[in-house]
Amino acid sequence: MRRIFSERGLLDRLHFAGKKVGRELCDSYAAMDVFVFSSFSETQGLVVAEAMAAGLPVVALDASGVREVVQHGKNGFLLEATADTASFAAFLGDLKAKAQLRRELGKGARRTAQKFSRERCAEKLFAFYEFRSHENPA
CATH number at 40 reads 3.40.50.2000
Phi and psi (nearest 5°) for 6?
A: -65, -45
Q: How far apart (Å, rounded) are the C-alpha atoms in residues 18 and 29?
A: 14
- pLDDT for 128 equals 84
- CA torsion sign for 116, 27, 18, 58 is positive
Residue 19 has pLDDT above 90, yes or no: yes
Calpha distance 27→16 (Å, rounded): 16
Average pLDDT over residues 4-19: 93
pLDDT single digits (tens) 63-80: 888 998 999 999 999 999
For the segment 33-54, what is each residue's pLDDT rounded down to a tens digit? Answer: 999 998 887 766 789 999 999 9
Query: In whole numbers, what is the pLDDT of the chain averaged over residues?
Result: 90
Domain range for 54 is: 21-135
Give me the pLDDT at residue 102, please: 96
Helix (H, G, I), strand (E, B) or coil at 113: helix
As a whole number of angstroms, the distance between CA 90 and CA 101 comes to: 14
Residue 35 belongs to a domain: yes
Say how many domains are in the chain: 1
